[in-house]
Structure 1
Amino acid sequence: MKTGKVVLVGAGPGDPGLITVKGLNAIKQADVILYDRLANPKLLEFAEPDCEFIYCGKLPERHTLRQEKINELLVEKALEGKTVIRLKGGDPGVFGRVGEEAAALAHYKIPFEIVPGISSGIAAPLYAGIPVTHREHAESFAVVTAHDKSENGKPLLDWEGLARGVDTIAFYMGVGNLPYICENLIHHGKSASTPVILIHWGTFGRQKTLQGTLANIAERAIAEKFSNPSIILVGDVISLREKISWFEQKPLYGRQILLARTGDSVSELAQELMNQGADVIEFPKWKRTVLSIDVTNVASYDHILFTSPESVTEFFTALFEQGSDIRTIRASLYGASSKSVRALNKQGLMANLAEEMPATGKRLIVGDDGIVTQDNADKLYTSKKELDQQFIPIFKRMLEEADVNTMIFPSSASVAQFVEGLRECGIDATELLANLQVVSMGKQTMAAVADAGLPLSGMPPKATKEALISYLAGRALGGE
C-alpha cells in the first residue's frame, strides 16, 4: 500500500475566517483530521462527509490524547495510505509542538507539509484593538510560553531580558501563573504601572478582556474569575485600545447564538451573524443522500412548496435529467425560508414565503424525508437526511465551552428537527432554551416554536438577515 501524507495545519486563533486558503484546501482533501481544542470545530464542516475526526484536545491536567499517542496516530493513519490533517490552533510553530510531530513523521519517512497559521498572540490583541508594535510605543515584540516542563510549571525565562529589552510581551495560556509573571517583570525592572490586558477566547464573539497594570492585574483576574484560553499582553502599546477598538464595537458582539439548522450546506445566515460579531453554533449537522424521484406529474399541482435550498437543486436536477420542460409547471412556487426563495429565484423563478401559500388547491411539498405532514398536501422526497453522528460530541463540547444567550429558528421546519436532534444528544430542548432569548423568523416559525412548547421571545418584522440583525442589535441580552 502506498504511504499517505500528513499536513500539519495552523487553524488560526478562533475566527474561522482567519484560516489560510492553503489550510482550508487541506481540510477539504482530508481522509482523517486530528484536531485540537483551540481549532474552531466549524472548520471541520469543510471536510468531506466520510472524513474521520479524532479529537486531541488538551486542558490543564487533562489531556484527551497524550502527545506520544498523537504522534503514533499520525504515523499509523499515513501508513494506511490516507491524507491526514493535523489541525492545530493558531500557528503550529508557536508552542504547537509541530517539531515533535514532524520529527516522528520524518523518522518513518512519511511525506509531510507544514502550513503556517495566524498566531493568537498577534490576532487576539488586534481583535482587542491593539497592534503589538507601533513606531511611537513599541519597537520590539516577544511571544513567551507562560508554563513549561519544569517541576512546578513556572516558566524559566530570561526575566531581565524581557523586562528591560522588550516593549510588548505576549504570554500564552498563563492565567494560572499571572502573579508569578507580574512579580518577576516588576522585580527585573518593568514598571509596576505598565499596562496589562488579558484577552479570553480572542477573535471569537465570546471574546472578553480585562485591563489593568502589573501591580493589580493578578488580583483583578482572580476577582473576575478569568481563565484560559487567554493571551496576557504587557506593554505601553495597550493604550491605543481606547482609540482603535473595533471588534467589540460590532452590533452583535457578545451574542453567542445557537442556530437551528435544516440544510447541510454553508449557512449564509450564520456567516452574516458572525460578520456582525456574534459567535454561532449551528445544530443539527446533517448528512444527505439524494434519492431517485419521479417528476412527470408535477404539472398537475397548483402550489409547490420547497422546504430547503437543497430540495430546489435536487428537484430541478431531476426535472432536467428526466427531460421535463420547466414550462410545464403551472404552480405557484413557495419556499419555507428566504434562503429557499432565493434558491428558486436563482432558477429564474418567482417565489414567495410559505406563509403566503393558500390552503386551497392541489399542493405539493418538496423536501427531504423529514417533511412535516400538512393536510391535503402531497409530498415528494428528494433526499434522505440523517444526523451526522460524528458532530454530536463536537456539538456538546461547543456548548460546554460557550455561554449561549440567543436561540434562532430560521424556519418552521427547523423547530422539530432541532428538538429531535437534541433528543439524540440526550439534551432536553425546553431546559436548554429556558434562559435564552428565543427568536423566530416569521409567524409560521413562531407558531411551530409555540406548538413545540418552547420559550418565545419575539421575531423580527421581516424574515430576512437584515431584519434579524437589526432586531438583535436593538434588543438587550435577556430582554424582549
Structure 2
Amino acid sequence: MKTGKVFLVGAGPGDVGLITIKGLEAIKQAEVILYDRLANPKLLEYAGSDCEFIYCGKLPDRHTLRQESINDFLVKKALAGKIVVRLKGGDPGVFGRVGEEAAALAEYQIPFEIVPGISSGIAAPLYAGIPVTHREHAESFAVVTAHDKSQDGKPPLDWEGLSRGVDTIAFYMGVGNLPFICQNLIKYGKPSSTPVILIHWGTFGRQKTLQGTLANVSEKVLEAKFSNPSIILVGGVISLREKISWFEKKPLYGRQILLARTSSSPSELAKELLVQGADVIEFPKWKVTRIPLDLRRVTSFEKILFTSPENAAEFFAAVIEQKIDVRNIRAELFAMSSKTLKALRERGLIGKLASEIVDSEKMLIVGDNQLLQTNFHKAEVMVTSNKELDRQFLPIFQRMLKEAQINTMIFPSSASVKPFMTALAECDINAWQLLNGKQVIAMGELTKAAAINAGFGSTEVPVSPSKEALVNYLVEHPLQGVEE
C-alpha cells in the first residue's frame, strides 16, 4: 500500500479568514483531520463529506488525546495511505509541538509538510488594537510559554532578561500563573506600573479584554473570573490601544449568534454577520447526495418552480452534463425565495416569486417540499438530491455551543425552524433552555409564525427579510449587558 502524506497546518488564531491559502487547500484534500480545541471548527466545513475528524483538544485540566496518541494516529493514518491534516490553532511552530509530530513522521519516513499559520501572540493583540512593536514604544518582542510540563507548571524562565531586555512580551497559556508572572517581572526590574492586557478568544467575535498593570492585573482577573484561552501581553505599547482599537468598534461586536441553517452551501448571511463583527455558529450541518436526473421531458413543461438555490444549481448542472441546450427550456421560471431568484439571475435567467404561480398540469417542481406538493397537486416533482443531517458534526457543535455564550438566535426561513429543533435534540440540547432569555429574530412573518409555533413567543422581525435590514435591526436593538 502506498504511504500517504501529512500536512501539519496552522489554523490561525480563530477568525477563519486568517488561515493561509495553502492551509485551506490542505483541508480541502484531507481524508483525515486531527484538530485542536483552538482551531476554529468552522474550518472543518471545507473538508470533503467523507473526511474523518479526530478531536485532539486540550484543556488545562485534561487532554482528550495525549501527545503520544496523536503521534501514533498521524503515523497510523498515513501508513494506511491517507492524506492527513493535523490542524493546530495559531502557528504550529509556536508552542504547537510540531517538532515532536514531525520527528515521529520522519522516523517512519512518512512524507509531510509544515504549513505556517498566524500566531495568536501577534494576531490577538492586533485585534485588540495593539501592534506588538512600534518605533516609539517597543523595539523588541518575545513569545513565552507561561506553563510547562513540570509538576507545578511554572517554567524556569530568564526573568531578568525578559524584564530588562524585552519591550513587549506575549505569554501563552498563562492565566493560572499570572501572579507568578507579575511577581517575577517586577522582582527582576519591570516597573509595577507596566501595562498588562489579557485577550480572551482573540480574533473571534466573542473576544474580550481585561487591562491592568503588573501591580493589579492578577486581582482584576480573579474578580472577573477571566480564563483561558487568553494571550497575556505586557508592555508600554499597550497604550496605543486607546487610539487604534478597531475590532471592538465593529457594529455587531459582542453578538454571539446561532444561525439556523437549511443549506449545505456557504451562507451569505453568516458571512455578512461575521464581517460586521459578530461571532456566528451555523447549525446544523447538512450532507447532500446528488440524485441522477432524467431530463428527457424537461422541454415539455410550461412552468418550473425551484425550491432553493441548491436545487437550481443541481438542476442546471444536470442540464449541462446531459448536453441540453438551455434555450430549448421554454418554461416560465419561478422561485420560492429571493435568494433562489438571485441564483437564477446568476445564470442569465429571469424568474418570478412563487406567489405569482398558478397550479398547472404542465408544471415541474424542482426540489422536495411537501407543502408545495399540497398546494400544487397537479405538478410533477423532481428531487435533485438527498439531504441529511451530517452527524459527524454534532459533537463538534456541542463543544462550540459550550464554549460560546449565545445571545442571539436567527431563523432565516420558516423551513429552518423544525430541522433546527430536531438537530438540537439529537445533540441532547433543549432548544428552549438554550435560547431562554436570548433575542430570537425571524426573517419574515412566515418565519416568525413558524418560530412562535415552535414555542418561541417573543420573536422579533426586521423590516424586511434581507441581510442589510437584519444588520440594521441588530445595531438599532442592542443587547442589554453586552460589553462593547
Same fold (TM over 0.5): yes
CA contact (8 A) 1:28 1:48 kept: yes
- Matched-pair contact (CA < 8 Å) for 1:172–1:231: yes
Could you say which residue in structure 2 is the equivalent of 1:375? 375
Partners of 1:257 and 1:353 lie apart in 2 by 29
1:158-195 per-position Cα deviation (integer Å, ceiling 9, x unaligned): 11111111100000111111111111111111111110
2: CA distance, partners of 1:81 / 1:210 = 47
Q: Which shifted more, 148-157 or 232-241?
A: 148-157
The aligned amino acid for 2:406 is V
- 2:425 partner amino acid: R
1:457 — aligned with what? 459
Q: 1:443 aligns with which of 445, 448, 468?
A: 445
Q: In structure 2, do the counterparts of structure 1 residues 473 and 94 end up closer, same or farther at CA, with 3 Å as the change threshold?
A: same
Q: Report whether the alignment pairs 1:56 with 2:56.
A: yes
How far does residue 360 in structure 1 lie from its aligned partner after superposition? 5.8
**Which runs of 5 or more residues in structure 1 are unaligned?**
none
**Equivalent position of 2:128 in the other structure:** 128
Q: Which residue of 2 aligns with 1:281?
A: 281
Residue range with higher mean Cα deviation, 356-365 or 198-207: 356-365
Query: Offset at 1:298?
Result: 5.7
- Count of residue pairs brought into register by the alignment: 477
Cα distance change, pair 305–455 in 1 and its aligned pair in 2 (3 A): farther
> Does 2:483 match 1:471?
no
Q: How far has the Cα of 1:280 moved from its partner?
A: 0.8
Q: CA separation in 1, counterparts of 2:126 and 2:102?
A: 30
Alignment-mate amino acid for residue 192 of structure 1: S
For 2:32 and 2:69, the matched residues in 1 are separated by 15
Contact 2:332–2:351, Cα closer than 8 Å, also in 1 = no
1:404-425 C-alpha deviation (Å, 9 max, x unpaired) = 1111111222122212222222
For 1:325 and 1:185, the matched residues in 2 are separated by 72
TM-score by length of 1: 0.94
Q: Which moved more, 1:360-369 or 1:57-66?
A: 360-369
Shift of 1:389: 1.2
Deviation sequence 1:122-180 (CA, Å, 0-9, x none): 00000000000000000000000010122211121011111111100000111111111
1:348 — aligned with what?
348
Q: Is the 8 A contact 2:196 2:235 kept in 1?
A: yes
What percent identity do the matched residue pairs reach? Answer: 68
Task: Please say if residues 13 and 120 of structure 1, whose CA atoms lie closer than 8 Å, have aligned partners that are also in contact.
Answer: yes
**Superimposed CA distance per residue, residues 226-255 of structure 1 (whole angstroms, 9 cap, x where no aligned partner):** 000000000000000000000000011111
- Is the Cα contact below 8 Å between 2:451 and 2:459 reproduced in 1? no
1-structure distance, mates of 2:368, 2:323? 20
Q: Distance between the aligned counterparts of 1:361 and 1:456, measured in 2?
A: 39
> For residues 336-383 of structure 1, what are the alpha-carbon distances to aligned partners after superposition, in whole Å with 9 as ceiling and x for unaligned?
3x33221111122223455x4457666654324787754334443111
Q: What is aligned with 1:397?
A: 399
User: Is the contact between residue 142 and residue 169 of structure 2 (CA under 8 Å) also seen in structure 1?
Assistant: yes
Conserved? CA contact 2:5–2:81, under 8 Å: yes
Question: Is contact 1:303-1:334 (8 Å) kept?
Answer: no
- Distance across 2 between alignment mates of 1:295 and 1:433: 45
CA distance in 1, matches of 2:438, 2:353: 27
Give the alignment of 1:180-259 within 5 angstroms: 180-259=180-259
Alignment deviations for residues 257-290 of structure 1 (CA, whole Å, 9 cap, x no partner): 1111111112221111111111111111111111
SS at structure 2 position matched to 1:289: strand
Helix, strand or coil for the counterpart of 1:390?
A: helix
Amino acid corresponding to residue 254 of structure 2 in structure 1: G
SS in 2 for 1:333: strand
Shift of residue 427, structure 1, vs aligned partner: 2.3
- Report matched runs for 1:254-403 at 5 Å: 254-295=254-295, 304-320=304-320, 321=322, 323=324, 325-326=326-327, 328-336=329-337, 338-354=338-354, 356-357=355-356, 364-368=364-368, 374-377=374-377, 378=379, 379-403=381-405
Moved more, 324-333 or 398-407: 324-333
Q: Match for residue 9 of structure 1?
A: 9
Q: Contact between 1:140 and 1:168, CA under 8 Å: does it hold in 2?
A: yes
**CA pair 260-326 structure 1, distance change in 2 beyond 3 A:** farther
Question: In 2, distance between residues paired with 1:418 and 1:3?
Answer: 41
- Check 1:457–1:450 CA distance in 2 against 1; reply closer, same or farther (3 A cut): closer
Distance of 1:326 and 1:190 partners within structure 2: 76
TM-score by length of 2: 0.94
> 1:470 & 1:425 partners in 2: Cα distance?
32
Task: Report what 1:92 is aligned to.
Answer: 92
Q: Equivalent residue for 2:18? A: 18
Distance 1:134 1:296, change over 3 A: same
Once the two structures are superposed, the pairs formed by residues 54-203 of structure 1 within 5 Å of their partners are 54-203=54-203
Bigger mean CA deviation after superposition, 258-267 or 188-197: 258-267
Question: 1:301 touches 1:330 (CA, 8 Å); kept in 2?
Answer: yes
- Is contact 2:198–2:209 with CA below 8 Å preserved after alignment? yes
Root-mean-square deviation over aligned CA pairs: 2.1
SS in 2 for 1:288: strand
